[in-house]
Every structure is written in structure tokens, then in C-alpha cells.
């Protein structure tokens, strides 16, 4: 959000109100965004959040090792925000999907099978259809991250 504000890129955060950024940070970012001709929008409505988006980015809902009650709470809280084809279709014609990985988008892993068994769902933060689609750039993102890390390490050790 901070980088988008500084670069003049419109930024929308979409999620439950309880997980929104702190008000003081939002206020700072809104001021910077205004100076750079962009906007900061917060919404808890996935359809509003995705409308006209050029990129839809999500992250894993629960970190590995979190207690079961955290998984229960997060899955109930975030299921309405699963990135689906319906939400992607609300974005711009060339809207892309991004995720920092790993992603629970199917039941082809041990964790995916456990999630299906415990919660009766076969995908979490993104549908497999979106994850495997031409709009998904998750592996390009991962590759770019690797090169960025190498560049930072080189600059640091130089």
C-alpha cells in the first residue's frame, strides 16, 4: 500500500474489517497517494474490491504450524474472499492473478487433503481454475522474486 501510494498506483485492499490495515497507516498512505494522483480504497465487499482491477493478489490464509482454532477462524472469515473466476471476471480485461505461494488451490498435497477432510473444502484462497488459468502469473512472480533476492544479496555483500 505504501509503495503504491508513492508510485501513484491505485490500491484497493479487500477483506474483512478485522484484518484491514491500521487507520493511521491508511491515513498516511491516502495523503501520499493524493499527492501522486492515485487512491487508496478499503472495502469488505469482494465484488467492489475486484471491479476494474488490473491485478488481484491474495496470500495464504494461515501459516503452517498455527493451532487448529486459528485455521477454523480464518477459513470461516476468509472463504467469501476466495479468488474465483467470477471475481477475476470483474477485473479489467487483462487482469492477472498473483500469489506469493504456496497456495492451497487443490487437494493434491497432504495439507490440501487435510483441509478437505477437516473443512469440507477443496480449495482455500484461490480456486484451482484461476490458479491454473492463463491469467495466473504466480510462477513468473516467484521467479522474479528469486532474482530480486539475488540482487539484494549481491548488493549487500558487495
What's 100's domain CATH number? 3.40.50.1370
Taking the C-alpha atoms of residue 75 and residue 105, their distance in angstroms, rounded to an integer, is 13
Same domain, 112 and 128: yes
Q: Is the domain of 68 the same as that of 145?
A: yes
Alpha helices in 8-133 (DSSP H): 23-35, 46-50, 68-78, 85-90, 110-119, 128-131
Report the DSSP pairing between strands 96-99 and 40-43.
unpaired
Shared-domain flag, residues 86 and 135? yes
Pick from 67, 52, 72: nearest CA to 11:
52
Continuous segment of H or E residues that includes residue 12: strand 11-14
In the chain, the number of structural domains is 2
Q: Does residue 103 share a domain with residue 63? A: yes
- Helices 68-78 and 110-119, interaxial angle, to 10°? 80
Mapped onto helix, strand or coil, the DSSP state of residue 14 is strand
Q: Are residues 100 and 51 in the same domain?
A: yes
- Judge if 23 and 52 occupy the same domain: no
Answer yes or no: do 60 and 11 share one domain.
no
Residues 106 and 146 placed together within one structural domain of the fold: yes
- Domain of 2, in residue numbers: 1-44
In residues, how long is the chain?
158
Are 115 and 75 part of one and the same domain?
A: yes
Residues 83 and 153 in one domain: yes
Shared domain for 28 and 66, answered yes or no, is no
Whole-prediction pTM: 0.91
- 53 & 38 share domain: no
Q: What is the pLDDT along the chain (158 residues), one digit of tens a residue?
A: 999 999 999 999 999 999 999 999 999 999 999 999 999 999 999 999 999 999 999 999 998 889 988 999 999 999 999 999 999 999 999 999 999 999 999 999 998 999 999 999 999 999 999 999 999 999 999 999 999 999 999 999 99
Amino acid at each position: 500500500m505504501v509503495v503504491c501510494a508513492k508510485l501513484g498506483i491505485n490500491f484497493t485492499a479487500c477483506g474483512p474489517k478485522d484484518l484491514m490495515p491500521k487507520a493511521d497507516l491508511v491515513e498516511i498512505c491516502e495523503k501520499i497517494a493524493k499527492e501522486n494522483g492515485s487512491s487508496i480504497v478499503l472495502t469488505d465487499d469482494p465484488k467492489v474490491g475486484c471491479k476494474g482491477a488490473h491485478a488481484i493478489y491474495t496470500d495464504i490464509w494461515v501459516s503452517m504450524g498455527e493451532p487448529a482454532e486459528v485455521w477454523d477462524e480464518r477459513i470461516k472469515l476468509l472463504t467469501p474472499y476466495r479468488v474465483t473466476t467470477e471475481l477475476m471476471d470483474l477485473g479489467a480485461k487483462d487482469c492477472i492473478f498473483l500469489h506469493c505461494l504456496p497456495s492451497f488451490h487443490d487437494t493434491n498435497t497432504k495439507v490440501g487433503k487435510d483441509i478437505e477432510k477437516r473443512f469440507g473444502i477443496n480449495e482455500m484462497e484461490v480456486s484451482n481454475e484461476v490458479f491454473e488459468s492463463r491469467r495466473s502469473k504466480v510462477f513468473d512472480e516467484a521467479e522474479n522474486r528469486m532474482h530480486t533476492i539475488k540482487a539484494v544479496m549481491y548488493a549487500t555483500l558487495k
